[in-house]
Amino acid sequence: MDAQAPGAPAEAPTCYRHPGRETYVRCTRCDRYICPDCMRDAAVGHQCVECVQEGSRTVRRPRTVFGGQIPATPVVTYTLIALNVLVYLAQLSSSRIVYDFAMVGVRFDPYGEMHGVADGEWYRLITAAFLHSQPGGGSFGVTHILFNMWALWVIGPQLEQVLGRWRFTSLYLLSALGGSVLLYLVDPTGAAVGASGAIFGLFGAFFVIAKRLNAPAGGIVFLLVLNLVITFTVPGISWEGHIGGLLTGGLLTAVYAYLPRVQGSDHQRRTVIHAVAVAALLALFIALVAVKTSELTGLLSF
């Protein structure tokens, strides 16, 4: 290498990504020279593109007080609404869908064949939550799905943001399941359809979260009381589905909200406890359905 001649001007530094561009600005993280096109504003000075990308990978996403990562878009809520609407459109094309997938504990067709959960059709416990009254049928007709989807649209995004996606999904599905299980236990010959059990579970969850955060709960209390009045005064409504969903949603959200009392950084322990609570509640429902099915099949065999 040739030595620089005495008195010669020093060579100007250049950008590490664009060697032909002179610059005297360094990245505050890696100390390399960066040109204006490679500069990214930082808390102090500027950083290069690579350091910004590396920092983005290591930054923890914000979490709520309940341990859920805050989703930018309520994907689960919108997906549930879409599924309900699509199933309803399918119902309009074939009434057989309601017959095959509605919540029925035990039923005999004209040929004497038994159908329902007691005959092993356990899927009815959850598929019924995506079915609704046909236009002109039942106590509400098309308003059945309209009200349920309106309620899901209004409170679903808020709950999904607070709880995170997997907790919200578990809440919705277990609330729907809880309503069907209570109906099966109390009135196994009864039939029901609708997302109302899941919606009541969301009502219960909203109330618990409001109390946990010391937020106003008057609005949800009014809506809940109004719907309970309708539940017990309008004929043709499965009160078991509504109450079962409400109790399930309230109980599960109480676990989300109050167990465990940890700092926000201890989210792994909290996630494990919440996952165990979901699994335990599901196991309880399975056990209750199994016991009731054994009881019913024993009685029907005589």
Residue positions annotated with a catalytic role = 196, 242
Residue 32 burial (CB count, 10 A) = 17
For residues 117 and 125, the answer to whether their CB atoms sit within 8 Å is yes
Q: From CA 134, how far away is CA 149, in angstroms rounded? A: 15
Cα gap 28→281, rounded to integer Å: 51
CB 198 within 8 A of CB 173: yes
Query: CB-based contacts of 167: which residues, under 8 Å, 6+ apart?
Result: 66, 67, 68, 256, 274
Closest by CA to 78, choosing from 152, 4, 177, is 152
d(CA 116, CA 114): 7
> Per residue in 198-234, is it b (16+ CB within 10 Å) or e — as a string?
bbbbbbbbbbbbbebeeeebeebeebbeebbeebeee
CA count, 13 A, side-chain hemisphere, 202: 27
Beta bridge partners of 46: 41
